[in-house]
A and B are shown apart, each in its own frame.
Chain A
Amino acid sequence: AQTVTQSQPEMSVQEAETVTLSCTYDTSESDYYLFWYKQPPSRQMILVIRQEAYKQQNATENRFSVNFQKAAKSFSLKISDSQLGDAAMYFCAYRRGGTSYGKLTFGQGTILTVHP
């Protein structure tokens, strides 16, 4: 069974600074997808970024980028120029590829606090 581990229960960053959230996963599959979702206090889970395992290039979405290390099974999220609106719970998630079965396996989450 696939597992996703987020070892940082809480992280904090100063506004305009950079922070990196860690995620490791365990799978025997070669085809899969990884995601970072953000869940603010409003509860709605918002997609931040997506990475296909077959792609060497790290995904980037504006101030958000990932460091995908496939051999190490590591998938960290870097938030640059942090803003107050980035404060939320962040979840790393895994989905097996090559199948129509789209179950997401989530990590335990990291609470990010942004200080003004």
Chain B
Amino acid sequence: ETGVTQSPTHLIKTRGQQVTLRCSSQSGHNTVSWYQQALGQGPQFIFQYYREEENGRGNFPPRFSGLQFPNYSSELNVNALELDDSALYLCASSSRAITDTQYFGPGTRLTVL
């Protein structure tokens, strides 16, 4: 069984740029959630995708957007990057047909200069 994977591992961008982060869900999972984790803090929920539709959103501005593809992989896009967007971005996959427990990928470390 393949776990959740994310790419890239690290990324450095400058303020104002745009970034795309990618996540492949665990085999058999149809739901992907994205979280932002600032250094030394707990993760904060950004949004969740189920069957290619956004299914809930946290307190993040519209410049944070996402996609889910037919194979249930997902992208997180952030436009007009700000310094405060520097964080670890975690993707988690789950399956409503089973326990709905979320399993996390290794994360993407984004640094905005």
A binding-site residues for B, Cβ under 8 Å? 4, 33, 35, 37, 42-47, 50, 91, 93, 95, 100-109
A-B contact list, 9 entries, CB within 8 Å: A4-B42, A33-B101, A37-B104, A43-B109, A103-B45, A103-B48, A105-B45, A106-B44, A109-B42
Residues of A within 8 A of B50 (CB): 100
Q: 4 closest Cβ contacts across the A-B interface?
A: A106-B42, A45-B104, A101-B56, A44-B106
* Cβ contact of A102, chosen from B43, B48, B88, cutoff 8 A: B48
A102 and B42 form a contact (CB under 8 A): no
Residues of B within 8 A of A105 (CB): 45
A44 and B107 form a contact (CB under 8 A): yes
Residues of A within 8 A of B104 (CB): 37, 44-46
B42 and A107 form a contact (CB under 8 A): yes
Measured in the bound complex, the distance between the Cα atoms of B44 and A47 in whole Å is 17
Residues of B within 8 A of A37 (CB): 104
B binding-site residues for A, Cβ under 8 Å? 31, 33, 35, 40-45, 48, 50, 55-56, 58, 88, 90, 92, 94, 96, 99-107, 109
A50 and B101 form a contact (CB under 8 A): yes
Closest to A92 in B: B42
* Cβ contact of A101, chosen from B48, B88, B109, cutoff 8 A: B48
B43 and A104 form a contact (CB under 8 A): yes
Measured in the bound complex, the distance between the Cα atoms of B100 and A104 in whole Å is 11
Question: Contacts A102-B48, A103-B56 hold; do A108 and B103 have CB atoms under 8 A apart?
Answer: no
Question: Contacts A43-B88, A43-B106, A101-B55 hold; do A106 and B43 have CB atoms under 8 A apart?
Answer: yes
Residues of A within 8 A of B88 (CB): 43
Residues of B within 8 A of A95 (CB): 100
Closest to A106 in B: B42
Measured in the bound complex, the distance between the Cα atoms of B43 and A35 in whole Å is 14
Residues of B within 8 A of A109 (CB): 40-42
* Cβ contact of B58, chosen from A50, A103, A107, cutoff 8 A: A103
Residues of B within 8 A of A101 (CB): 48, 55-56
A100 and B55 form a contact (CB under 8 A): yes
A45 and B42 form a contact (CB under 8 A): no
